[in-house]
Amino acid sequence: MAKLNKGTRELMASAIMKHTYKEKAKALADRQIALFDRVYAYLYSKDERAAMDALLALDKDALPTTNSFKVNVGLTAHINSHAIVRIYVRNQADIYLATKTREQEHVPVMHKHTRWDSRINIPDGDKRDPKLHEDIRAWMTDSDRFRDETSIGYREALAALEGLGTSKKLREGWPEVLPLIESLIPDDVRGGLPAVQVTTLNAKFRLPPEKEAA
């Protein structure tokens, strides 16, 4: 009856989070990349982008490049061409749920858009992209909600694992989660804590998984 130590419980909780939230995280990353493209198109017309490409064809160092835009939509947002969705955990390495990089990570820009304090104002309803302001705000809101949801979920999973405490009680009390974490269960130390109820956790974390995690 091996005891689940702190490090093991954290690894298990991370595995549960990756299973539960990877699709939502991927969707947020996809939205960020799409917004990066829309901000770029908002800044530069098709003809302007073609002119920059022609200039770079003559001299590859003729223009600066960027992979990040700081935009103002009532709030300040940083929209990058490299999207990372993760759970920030105090005193622990971040849990990476999804990453996506635009095919061309750096895009050519005019010098004014490379200043560290450069901020792009995008009014609501601007004719260049009438919904861009609204869509950036929606992405920011959804990202904040996702961050809160995953932080709470991680703490709940960690508390459940701590309450189960041992490999024996984990197998008996929460068998649905085993396909995700069984490889992490130690088998050489004895110990234990009281069991916990896991029915609601199964619904929250979509357990058991349809197939074993890769």
Q: What is the pLDDT of residues 18-27, one digit of tens each?
A: 999 999 999 9
> The tokens 């299973």 sit on which residue?
19
Q: How many CB atoms lie within 10 A of CB 192?
A: 15
Residue 209, domain member (yes or no) = no
Question: What is the pTM for the complete model shown?
Answer: 0.83
CA distance 106 to 65: 6
Residue 14, domain member (yes or no) = yes
Residue 31, domain member (yes or no) = yes
pLDDT tens digit string along 89-120?
988 889 999 999 999 999 999 877 666 667 89
Residue 122, domain member (yes or no) = yes
CA distance 103 to 99: 13
* Mean of pLDDT values over 30-52: 96
pLDDT of residue 25: 98
CB 190, CB 1: distance < 8 Å: yes
* Integer CA distances (angstroms), 117 to 49, 60, 61, 178, 191, in order: 23, 25, 23, 49, 55
Tally of domains in the chain = 1
Residue 90, domain member (yes or no) = yes
Residue 213, domain member (yes or no) = no
Residue 106, domain member (yes or no) = yes
Residue 1, domain member (yes or no) = no
Residue 207: pLDDT band (50, 70, 90) is confident
What is the span of the domain harbouring residue 107?
6-204
pLDDT at 195 over 90: no
